[in-house]
Structure 1
């Protein structure tokens, strides 16, 4: 699955770059959290992380609507009250449709699929942190919505919200015909703010 995700990401970049007007490097802040059902006494709280990657910009579906694929290294995660925190590292591929809404401002919406490359479980603010992938599913899928504002030909600022649609915690057997995920659902969410720098064709 890891090789497949890497191949998909490379194919998206290669195909899109042929017709793109520019490529942008982007990086920024992520306010990461999880939606948990049922919530166990509010012990999960948000975690501040980051994301970085590239976006293929200015692909056109028609005169008004654009298409923007991205490949990002994105850290999700959450804190566990009184214990420590969890960091989940993803290779994420958002596939965004873009709509201009004002001069220099565009709306971006679309699906996102992510492959987990690592996860770390830390105790006492990561003083004792170990790599452990056994808690979470490899694939996370969801939807993205946000806005981006172009402040110059090469620099843009943006913000977006990600809502996971899939349960990320793994199944563990609790007995005959019963699994952990039947009772405990966990979905990634995140608010992102970023700056992007475009280069290439205009």
Structure 2
């Protein structure tokens, strides 16, 4: 399903660019900004009478990350546009959880993605637009720190190749060349497969899910 979503989104981006090149209302810009993201986890099993959902979710914080790439905009009417971005995205979070001895440990995760948001923009006021759409991301790499020390990459097979979710927010066109954008992203799919075992190595029952979410602030420069 994720592969079909990614292929459909890519076709939309290509189609938007091809169609726009034949019109006068197409714009192409360079975008850069900052992500502030976290990860919502749920469905943890119980371990030695402890609810791991409460232990994890209460201590997860959001971390900053970079975002950079390109934006394609096609104005279909005076008040509506169709947009597609191609971005390098960092999504990060810090969790202070407990190990098997119930000692607190801090883990910083930073996930690297190639993202393809496709979204519509409706003008509310001159220069001010509300935007909503979907975003498909392809997983590139993972880096992390455990108790402040850089750690080796975890098993890549445990992380889903694709993330998919919905995004919405506002943009403001400062002038012909500059546009500010702020939006919220909420993932809809599980991005990591993690199994929990007891002290005897037996797998614990649970339906653990890791969902990415966060906000993105960016500036787009339209040079032409």
Q: Give TM-score, length-normalised by structure 2.
A: 0.76
Q: CA deviation at 1:199?
A: 2.4
**Pick from 88, 91, 94: which aligns with 1:76?**
91
CA–CA distance in structure 2, aligned partners of residues 179 and 141 of structure 1: 28
State how far apart, in whole Å, the 1-side matches of 2:80 and 2:204 are: 43
More strand as a share of residues: 1
Deviation at 1:170, TM superposition (A): 1.5
Superposed, 1:65-104 pairs within 5 Å as: 65-81=80-96, 82-104=105-127
Q: How does 1:116-195 map to 2 (within 5 A)?
A: 116-125=139-148, 127-132=149-154, 133-170=156-193, 172=195, 182-195=206-219
Deviations 1:85-115 (A, max 9, x none): 0111111111101100111011110011111
Aligned to 1:50: 66
Query: What stretches of structure 2 of length at least 5 have no aligned partner?
Result: 44-52, 97-104
Larger Rg belongs to? 2
CA RMSD between the two structures: 3.0
Is there any run of 5+ residues in structure 1 with no aligned partner, and where?
A: none
Cα distance between partner residues in 1 of 2:188 and 2:6: 22
Shift of 1:40: 3.9
The runs of 4+ residues in structure 1 deviating greater than 2 Å are 3-18, 62-65, 129-135, 171-174, 178-183
